[in-house]
Amino acid sequence: MKSSNSGYILSFDQGTTSSRAILFNHDGAIVAMAQRPLRQYYPEPGWVEQDANEILESQLAVAREAIAKAGIGPEEIASIGITNQRETVVMWDKDSGRPVYRAIVWQCRRSTAICEELVSSGLEDEFRARTGLRLDPYFSGTKLCWLFREIPGLKALAENGEILFGTVDSWLLWNLTGRHETDITNASRTLLFNINDGTWDPMLLSVLGIPPQVLPKIQSSADDFGVTKPEIFGVSIPISGVVGDQQAALFGHACFSPGMAKNTYGTGCFSLLNTGNKPVWSKNNLLTTVAWRIGGKTTYALEGSVFIAGAVIQWLRDEMRFIETAEETEGISRSIPDTNGVYFVPAFVGLGAPYWDPDARGTIVGITRGVTSAHLVRAALESIAYQSEDLIAAMGSDFGKPVESIKADGGATANSFLMQFQADISGRPVLLPEIAESTALGAAYMAGISCGYWDGVAEIENNWRLKRRFEPDMNEKDRLKRLALWHKAVQAAREYKK
């Protein structure tokens, strides 16, 4: 593999709603970027699908666009790093390369009944101990099981070695290089991977009825994933980094030491805490997952998510019509001293960690005669920070050491009121990096370390630049009082059952 620090690193960021390509230079700065939206299919309530060929075509198109925008030649790209929406399942015919079904997206709930079956067979603890995950349709394994149960003849073909399975990274890699591989972070989200010994787990495969022949080879996150077929970009470009999107963001934030955490503020929030070289099992419903593997060394993480974060702002805009744009929420919140005693728990689809309560429902408490739409807007914004704080506190408690600071990225970090409130209610600083594209940057760094473009994590730490730091500025008594009231509101959201 080419070992040079000249040229650029091209990051493929294949997300749920769009495919993006970003070209980075040696300082970790963005040189060019291109993006295309991805069509979503909802064939039945709760089902979410995408066209696997569109995923591939859009990703290749944005890659070519980014190269053209930068005005460089493809031979100037030292390496490609891939990061992707995780848990989404693609199965394809080994000979023709044709997908046998649409890609089943991580959000898809079609395998709920399979999960319930497994839980009632008493297998939940077994799955948790082996994978670090929950028996939830979110993860790939039960989606695969669904395909084998529903598509006639598929299992026999798979046992014959004619069918391949991959998460999105693997699907892209196979088309780019002809190799059937995945990285350990993506494998760790499938419900088929044993995080204790780092291999596909024969017992879980057998319980889910998945022929092992379909599985890709598991590689490190920084590894040799081959080179792109020459006809794709005109030259062969090495691929040397692959990492799931949330883990990529953790890496892009340079959270290299145990105890460092990031929170991504998008439609939902995703928090990850680096727990070092051993998996930590959660007492607070967090997931245990692989952060990355570099040079044979595996780093683990605790992960939790808030289902409705920025989405509550969309709801205020589109359904309540209290606002016209998400940006307005900042000025509105600053125009009043507080929420006038209102707490808003946006449990529209239940609550994630640390509660894991699918039956909780959205609840607003503390309404009095003087409450205005502005107070509700502020309470909605504050709910993003309260929910995130519940996750970060749970992580610290599982890890045995409080999290010191939160590195933040995602669309809602544009809201400085929210970032300040997060620091206030958490009692810890919130750090915004200069390069907001932490996910794409993480994949670029992974590839760049692997091929020698960057010397190692020390060089990346040097590249990391702070854009803004929000210091906590709320007295402790006030903070604890508000948290206690928030938890009462959460309790109300959980007690209300249809």
Torsional class of 331: left (φ above 0), alpha (ψ -120 to 50), beta (otherwise) = alpha
Stretch that binds ligand ADP, among 50-58, 283-291, 409-417, 481-489 (CB under 6 A): 409-417
The answer to the question of residue 457 lying near ligand ADP (CB under 6 A) is no
Q: Three-state SS string across 382-423, please?
A: HHHHHHHHHHHHHHHHHHCCCCCCEEEECHHHHCHHHHHHHH
CA 32 → CA 9, 11, 25, 464, distances in Å?
A: 11, 11, 10, 19
The answer to the question of residue 266 lying near ligand ADP (CB under 6 A) is yes
The answer to the question of residue 411 lying near ligand ADP (CB under 6 A) is yes
Compose the 310-329 pattern: x for residues touching ligand ADP by CB under 6 A, - for all others.
xx-xx-----------xx-x
What would the two tokens of residue 108 be? 């898809």
The least distance separating ligand ADP from the CB of residue 152, rounded to whole angstroms, comes to: 37
Q: Rule CB under 6 A: choose which of 50, 267, 271, 299 binds ligand ADP.
A: 267
The answer to the question of residue 442 lying near ligand ADP (CB under 6 A) is no
Stretch that binds ligand ADP, among 136-144, 273-281, 285-293, 309-317 (CB under 6 A): 309-317
The answer to the question of residue 252 lying near ligand ADP (CB under 6 A) is no
Q: Rule CB under 6 A: choose which of 232, 414, 483, 485 binds ligand ADP.
A: 414
- Which of 275, 422 has the CB closer to ligand ADP? 422
- Which of 218, 418 has the CB closer to ligand ADP? 418
**Residues, the chain:** 498
- Which of 311, 371 has the CB closer to ligand ADP? 311
CA 33 → CA 26, 88, 177, 405, distances in Å?
A: 16, 24, 23, 30
Spatial neighbors of 328 by CB under 8 A, at least 6 apart, are none
The least distance separating ligand ADP from the CB of residue 164, rounded to whole angstroms, comes to: 29
Residue 466 has φ and ψ, to the nearest 5°, of -80, 130
Closest CA relative to residue 251, chosen from 8, 422, 11 = 11
**Window 468 to 497, contacts with ligand ADP (CB under 6 A):** none
Helix (H, G, I), strand (E, B) or coil at 176: helix
The answer to the question of residue 160 lying near ligand ADP (CB under 6 A) is no
- Which of 310, 396 has the CB closer to ligand ADP? 310
Q: Rounded to an integer, what distance in angstroms lies between the CA atom of residue 380 and that of residue 326?
A: 12
Number of residues that bind ligand ADP (CB under 6 A): 16
> What residues line the site for ligand ADP (CB under 6 A)?
17, 266-267, 310-311, 313-314, 326-327, 329-330, 410-412, 414-415
